[in-house]
Homo-oligomer: A and B are copies of this chain.
Amino acid sequence: MTNIQRAKETEATGEGFLKSIAIDAVIFGFHDNQLKVLLIEYKRTGLFGLPGGFVRVDEDLNTAALRVASERTGLTDIYLEQFYVFGDYSRYDPSRFKTIMTANGQSPTEDHWLLKRFVSVGYYALVDFTKVNLAPAAIFDSCNWYDLNEVPTLIQDHNGIIKKALEALRLSLDNKLTGFNLLPRDFTMGNLQTLYETILGRKLLRPAFQRKMLALGILERVAKKWTGGAHKAPYLYRFVAGKTINSEI
């Protein structure tokens, strides 16, 4: 995503971008049996927030969301889903952008386009934690994984956005089988179950879970895995794409 001669967000007029529309991305990863979320830290401000961005005038909205998620993770093939548009007037708070800019020696003009009101399209992304290469978006920030239950206070309504993203993810787990996007190609049934348990926030019964997952017919058993644990080695499974599930509820 090199945009050498293309417009920058930081230009005052916002030339080249759709006005009033922002994208916020809740990028989920799964590591050490914990759900992680990718957060931005704005340097010299102590402010944290979700990675976000704007839509170029010649760019699809979904493409813009993919670009935002790609820029931070280094991945190109990302499972992305719109989950809500945050458009309350009360979200409007120009002071935050001013703070970030001034903390870095810049002073935006009063009519800077980023000081106007934005409606934000929320996307959640599911990525394979092991494949991600974190990269800051601008010189003003850095980005890192945070455990979902150790998320600091974020700017604006970003804590609420994460909450809503998690709710949407929970619903899509059963309907769309999205969970696999959070795992590496090969995984054990135990991996899968703890992933489900973490997202759903409750324990599941092992035999029932295994029976159900296998009955879906979307898992291919690939090989044994010798973990090094003093116990029977689990099988490795792989998600078999191309099979759609009819979730006739």
In the assembly, what is the distance between CA of A64 and CA of B88, in Å? 10
Confirm or deny: A171 has a beta carbon within 8 angstroms of a beta carbon on chain B: yes
Chain-B contact segment, one of A39-47, A54-62, A178-186:
A54-62
Partner among B19, B58, B88, B174 whose Cβ is within 8 Å of the Cβ of A20: B19
Note all chain B residues with C-beta closer than 8 A to A18. Answer: 19-20, 117, 119
Given known A19-B20, A249-B174, contact A88–B60 (CB-CB < 8 A): yes
A60 touches B89 (CB 8 A): yes
**Chain B residue nearest in CB terms to A123:** B85
In the assembly, what is the distance between CA of A175 and CA of B175, in Å? 11
Confirm or deny: A121 has a beta carbon within 8 angstroms of a beta carbon on chain B: yes
Which residues of A line the B interface, CB within 8 A? 18-21, 55, 57-62, 64, 82, 84-90, 117, 119, 121, 171, 174-175, 249
